[in-house]
A = this chain, B = another copy of it.
Amino acid sequence: MTSTTEQTQRGGINVARLLMSFGPLMFLALLIIVFTVLKPSFIDPINIFNIMRQISITGLIALGMTFVILTAGIDLSVGSLLAFCGMVAAVVAKGGTANTLSLSTSGTQGFGWFAALLAAVVVGAIAGGVQGFAITRLKVPPFVVTLGGLTVFRGLTLTISNGGPISGFDASMRWFGTGLIGPVPVPAIIFAAAAILCHIVLRYTRYGRAVYAVGGNAEAARLSGLRVDRILISVYVIVGFFAGLAAFVLSARLNSSEAVAGIGYELTVISAVVIGGTSLFGGIGSVGGTVVGAALIGVLQNGLQFNNVSSYTQSIVIGLILILAVAFDRWLKSRVRR
């Protein structure tokens, strides 16, 4: 019976899906317990909400990245794209590229938060679409296209802002980064809502099925009548959209869009997806796993900082625990299979 349950992992009922992310999830629980024992204030609601707010930025991008990696693709440009979209949002919000900070942060002459949000996600989606187009039409591997994108978008961002940040947004925009609904931070709510939406799309729609199929076997997908190129382009649009959304939230949170934002995010984001059990070779994975992966990284970083572990030691511990978490997952799966 175990086996049958185990077999349902790639598309079964919720219990089975939980089992799938079992390894990382158990590891996450373990970490939380250890940190709480070390310092009970770790599970203070304040700190938990801190962690949720912290993982929301890379978490949002990781949701989009899950789609991409499910098709056996990759997107290295997300960090730069985040900076680019953030800068675009800032320009729209402030109505210009002035690097200088206006005296009063409330009175901006820009177009308001909605225009800024729209600009960020539309620019992100278009940028993603262009990359998807290059991947499918020019037949350049995703790794190369998005590596190119990584440097191109960073260059564009620096050009727009001339290297400096654009800062000072009005309160309505800042709410998306710093506001609370009840006790819960807005970014965490945005992330949770987006995660649920992505889960539904991947799990319960024909589009989601198609994404898995393309990643599972692109040739078979083509011969089964799927428009593989369109699906591939769409996943890069999705990750671009989420990079834009994350950029908006980050800018709102920091009250500033920086040209150096998001450097190295690609690795954090991809780690979250991969630790969550999504295969880099496509076709296997889930949104739930990605959320757990992102949470694992967030808890680990926060917990070590919480205990004021030296940054050198932090690096070592984080690296080892990431490997261990995945190793534990594999071991657990191999046990369940027997």
Contacts and interface: CB of A to CB of B under 8 A. Distances in A.
B312 A159 contact: yes
Interface stretch (A8-16, A87-95, A134-142, A240-248): A134-142
Contact of A152 (B147, B149, B315): B315
A151 B140 CA distance: 30
Contact of A315 (B151, B274, B323): B151
Q: How many copies, total?
A: 2
Contacts of A149: 319
Given A141-B326, A320-B152, A315 B158 contact: yes
Contacts of A326: 140-141, 144
B143 A274 contact: yes
B318 A151 contact: yes
Contacts of A140: 323, 326-327, 330
A315 B271 contact: no
A170 to B, nearest CB: 29
A220 to B, nearest CB: 16
A280 interface: yes
B319 A144 contact: no
- The residue among A143, A156, A311 with the most chain B CB atoms within 10 A of its own CB is A143
A76 interface: yes
Contact of A316 (B156, B314, B316): B156
A315 B144 contact: no
A319 B143 contact: no
Given A76-B267, A134-B327, A314-B155, A320 B143 contact: no
A291 interface: no
B270 A159 contact: no
A238 interface: no
Nearest to A321: B148
Contacts of A158: 311-312, 315
Contacts of A334: 139
